[in-house]
Amino acid sequence: MSLPIYFPLGFSALLFGIGLWGALTRTNAVRILMFLEVMLNAVCLNLITFNRYFWSQTPEAASEATIASLFIMTVAAAEAAVGLAIILSLVRNRGTVEADKATMLKG
């Protein structure tokens, strides 16, 4: 017995909405990065869901969705590493992790 498609898609929409809400309402830079990761995980869940339900009939489309999911996970890991490096630099120079006080990055 498999789940209907609207369960994982609804869960993915819920995750993306929570991530968007959190990224727009928080001022702590570490929390903003965490909510961005939640949003990227929602996108990965969508790709895996569509791979399972729609693209399993054509092998080339299924492999493309799997590769796209792997690329998204790789980009998410790189984003976390670069974001944490920027936040670490902000803490060393300014002594805070609040995104509102990060004025040194303005042009």
**Confidence (pLDDT) at 80:** 84
Tell me what the mean pLDDT of segment 24-48 comes to. 89
What are 22's two structure tokens?
Answer: 């959190």
Task: Check residue 61 and give its pLDDT.
Answer: 64
> Residue 28 forms beta bridges with which residues?
98
pLDDT in tens, 51-92: 777 766 666 666 777 787 788 888 888 888 888 888 888 888
pTM for the whole thing? 0.77
SS3 string of the chain? CCCCCHHHHHHHHHHHHHHHHHHHHCCEHHHHHHHHHHHHHHHHHHHHHHHHHCCCCCHHHHHHHHHHHHHHHHHHHHHHHHHHHHHHHHHHHHCCCEHHHCHHHCC
Domain at 6-94, CATH from 1.20.1510.10, 1.10.287.3510, 3.40.800.20, 3.40.50.300: 1.10.287.3510
Domain ranges of the chain: 6-94
- pLDDT tens column, 8-22: 999 999 999 999 999
